[in-house]
Structure 1
Amino acid sequence: MLVIVAMRTKAQAQRVAELTGGKLVLKDNQPTCKVSLSGDFEQYREDVESVSVLFKLYDKAGKPVPSGWTLTGATFEVEWPKESPINSHFGARRFAYNWALVTVKSDMDAKKKDGNYVSTQWTLAALRKRWNQEKDVVAPNSKECYASGIADLVQALSNWSQSKKGERKGKRVGFPKFASKRRDPGRVRFTTGAMRFEDDRRTIVLPNIGALGSKENTRWVQRHLAKNNARLLNCTLSERWGRLFISCQLAIRDKLASPTNQAPSKPTTRAGVDLGLGSFVTVTDSNEDRIVFSNPAPLRASMAELKRTQKQLSRRIPRSHGYERAKTKLNRLYRKSTSMRRENVHQVTRYLMDTYGEVKIEDLNIAAC
């Protein structure tokens, strides 16, 4: 039996080959991120997972094989700490984003003037290497804030490049613009350092920030981490609607994270989902039965109130007391509408999964209608 393990980097693949005695898969006589292992994979699992749980498995024919891990996420609202440099972390991320964008633009201008000019590659590793050479001069601070900003710019450049080549679906993406405090939402992502969920299930610890009190119970995540059945990959601290949230990405073992395997009530029935403008969705099955899911009445009322509040805000003088009150009310309505819309989507999708054996969803761009 032969199994191929695909790691994220060549360095990880080399490490797996050394631990397991496997062979690196070559392409054009160059090593790749894949390692070929003979025999049952379970005898190598501990060594592979000691390097990284973010790997993929393939059989000899190249077909994907379940790796035993699945990626998932969770979001918790936390309390604003009285004394913590959170806003400075958000500003540091924007600073690094703008610094990297200036560097890219300078290289592009220099390349136009001199064709032999060697510019920095648009990769996270290359831009971070150049940042490390200049960070002591421009901004000596936490590395996670700056790494998050540079990573966001690398992704924005990749989206623009793929969109320009026609390789990216959706509407056309323009060249990245500078991030400002007014337009760019405050956020910072942590990938290393002291990230943990405390045993009290009410405290989340982040690097350089410390403990943050969660307004929700974190048992769903904490119990898996305590049993070593999950790996915490990264945490993103963000500000939305004037409140503070922590979003974490986890790798959890499949046997613990798999949903209940309940057979649908109509396993032989196919359903088509039509996204609407006047209604939420319209479901028509192969038996010619039609169900219309309308937007909930509280959501419609909230959207109407949201429209009125937006008009009120436009009539207020910026930075006045009336302006701040209208802005606070607007943020509350945004949060309320988003939560109700998310709950509506969850209920409809749960109904589709529990009822029909096959579901087809319309891919029409509603926003362009």
Structure 2
Amino acid sequence: MKARYQYRFYPTDQQKQSLARLFGCVRVVWNDALAICKQSEKKPKSAELQKLVITQAKKTEERAWLSEVSNIPLQQSVADLEAAFKNFIDSCKGKRKGQKVGYPKFKKRTSSQSARLTRGGFSLKGDGVYLAKIGIVKPIWSRELPSDPSSVTIIKDCANRYFLSFVVEVEPVQLDAKHMSIGIDLGIKTFAVMSNGEKAFSPCYEAIDRRIRKLQKKLARQSNGSNRRSKTKIQIAKLHNQIADTRKDFLHKLSTKIVSENQTIVLEDLNVSGMVKNRKLSRAISLQGWREFRTLVEAKSEKLNRNFRVISRWERTSQTCSCCGYRWGKLDLSVRRVVCLNCGAEHDRDQNASVNIKMVGMGHRHDLKCTSRQSKTTSVASVDEA
């Protein structure tokens, strides 16, 4: 399986100028190719686009500076545009799973920049990495590469940080699991409640989020193109990166712990795009990173030979007793503890849901014909305000 290893590096002033030139050329090639595709009745092939926006463009006075950078990232930019069109067409035809993919957009100078190099455009030399027509950069090697990389992506984010992202081949790891299976219910106040009784609480982002809101109001009052506006944008980007890095560290540690200790991991397929439409909860839901956590668990399960399962979002995990299968119906979010009318068992709402997620994922389900709801339970259930 393939994986990405990302390292930060600090270029010199001369290398920053060369990288800025490289990012600009890659962006211009993408925008020129996209403009040709929009003007044409039939989309040209990738080889034709490369001939128009790279080979022939270098011979003109307007695009003669494309020769100052390596030809490999320019070709990869056209190849990335071809992949973007393929994803858009497959999404329209229903061949691509997941959320709908939109039509490719023009790249902006103000957003994050990237350029991809294949094996002919870079090489590892000791503690440094040689990049074509840029020179040797020295990343901070926080861990060793497991194998020779097939490509590297140079990234500059909105906070002016530089990264090298390598694509490498990773072999599956054999590691014995302590437990057979686990079900996980994701939430806001408690990020994850597990069927074994453990709970995981996400870091608090409220203080940084308040600072971001304050700076965003300040940004709205500043005039476009001013130096103060650009400084405020960098400050906002740094705070966003601080939240993203904290969340990524938390999700990596939690997903590694769960995958290494359990053979089968069961999650619920949450409709996050529909849940964020709730104005009161949208900001809190977006800060949690539920989808990122699912992606990490799925990737690490493949690496450690674990079974990763996702149950349907329509399973009534919060409406069914995990002991006897009695269905009590929908409950308000304020109801955190419930007493089952059938067996008398008292449940924590999230803990009961995690046990039901595990049971459904493992194929063990109660006989719902005998345990279907006979009456409303919201008025009789024991409610404990958390």
Q: TM-score, normalised by structure 2?
A: 0.62
Q: Which residue of 2 aligns with 1:212?
A: 137
Find the counterpart in structure 2 of residue 313 from structure 1. Answer: 219
Q: Could you tell me which amino acid in structure 2 is paired with residue 338 of structure 1?
A: A
How far residue 306 of structure 1 moved from its aligned partner, in angstroms, is 2.6
Per the alignment, do residues 292 and 197 of structure 1 end up closer, same or farther by CA in structure 2, a change over 3 Å counting? same
- Corresponding residue number in structure 1 for 2:107: 179
User: Could you tell me how far apart the structure 1 residues matched to 2:260 and 2:169 are?
Assistant: 26
1:64-99 CA deviation, whole Å, 9 max, x = no partner? Answer: xxxxxx422211111132113211111111111112
Aligned match of 1:127: 49
1:246 has 2:164 as partner:
yes
Report the Cα offset of residue 168 of structure 1. 1.9
User: Which of 246, 271, 274 is equivalent to 2:185?
Assistant: 274
Correspondent of 1:83 among 11, 14, 18: 14
Whether 1:342 and 2:259 are equivalent positions in the alignment is no
The whole-number CA distance in structure 1 between the counterparts of 2:261 and 2:199 is 15
Q: Does 1:231 align with 2:148?
A: yes
- Residue of structure 1 in register with 2:199 after alignment: 292
**Residue 303 of structure 1, CA deviation:** 2.8
Structure 1 residue 219, shift from structure 2 partner = 5.5
| Paired-residue identity, % | 22
| SS at structure 2 position matched to 1:327 | helix
The answer to whether the 8 Å contact 2:10/2:138 transfers is yes
Check conservation: 1:197, 1:218, Cα contact below 8 A: no
Distance 1:316 1:106, change over 3 A: closer
Residues 281 and 309 from structure 1, CA distance in 2 versus in 1: closer, same or farther, beyond 3 angstroms? farther
The change in CA–CA distance for 1:304 and 1:351 in structure 2 (over 3 A counts) is: farther
How far has the Cα of 1:220 moved from its partner?
0.3
Amino acid paired to 1:292: K
Deviation per residue, 1:268-289 (Å, 9 max, x gap):
xx22223334442332x2xxx4
**Which residue, 262, 265, 270 being the options, matches 1:356?**
262
**2:54/2:74 contact within 8 Å kept:** no
Secondary structure, aligned partner of 2:198: strand
Q: 1:105, CA displacement in angstroms?
A: 2.2
- In structure 2, distance between residues paired with 1:131 and 1:317: 35
For 1:353, give the aligned amino acid. V
* Contact 2:151–2:166, Cα closer than 8 Å, also in 1: yes
Shift of 1:209: 0.8
CA contact (8 A) 1:95 1:149 kept: no
Determine the structure 2 residue equivalent to 1:193: 120
The alpha-carbon deviation at position 133 of structure 1 amounts to 5.0
- Counterpart CA distance in 2 for 1:328 and 1:264 is 44
**Contact in 2 for aligned 1:90/1:145 (Cα 8 Å):** no
Which residue matches 2:29? 96
- Contact between 2:29 and 2:54, CA under 8 Å: does it hold in 1? no
Structure 1 residues 295 and 324 mapped into 2: Cα distance closer, same or farther (>3 Å)? same
Structure 1 residue 180, shift from structure 2 partner: 2.4
Decide which structure has greater strand share: 1
Q: Which runs of no fewer than 5 residues in structure 1 stay unpaired?
A: 1-69, 112-118, 225-229
Supply the distance in 2 between the matched residues of 1:331 and 1:366 (Cα, whole angstroms): 24
Give deviations 1:90-120, integer Å, cap 9, x for gaps.
Answer: 1111111112112222321xx5xxxxxxx62
Q: Look up the equivalent residue of 2:31 and give its one-letter code.
A: N
Deviation of the 1:187 alpha carbon: 0.9
Q: Distance between the aligned counterparts of 1:176 and 1:328, measured in 2?
A: 26
1:71 aligns with 2:2: yes
Change (3 A) 1:354 1:233: closer
Shift of 1:174: 2.3
**Per-residue CA shift, 1:304-337, capped at 9, x if unaligned?**
3333332333233344454344323222212211
Q: Distance in 1 between matches of 2:110 and 2:121?
A: 30
- Cα offset, 1:193, TM superposition: 2.7
Q: How many residues align?
A: 266
Amino acid at match of 2:120: G
Q: Counterpart of 2:192 in structure 1: which amino acid?
A: V
**SS of residue in 1 equivalent to 2:14:** coil
TM-aligned CA deviation for residue 148 of structure 1? 2.5
Distance 2:33 2:153 in 1: 20
Unaligned runs of 5+ in 2: 276-386
Q: Distance in 1 between matches of 2:7 and 2:164?
A: 5
Q: Is the 8 A contact 1:266 1:355 kept in 2?
A: yes
Query: In the alignment, is the contact (CA less than 8 A) between 1:120 and 1:126 conserved in 2?
Result: yes
Cα distance in structure 2, aligned partners of 1:132 and 1:332 = 35
Alpha-carbon deviation of 1:347?
1.7
CA contact (8 A) 1:233 1:250 kept: yes
Alpha-carbon separation, structure 1, partners of 2:142 and 2:134: 19
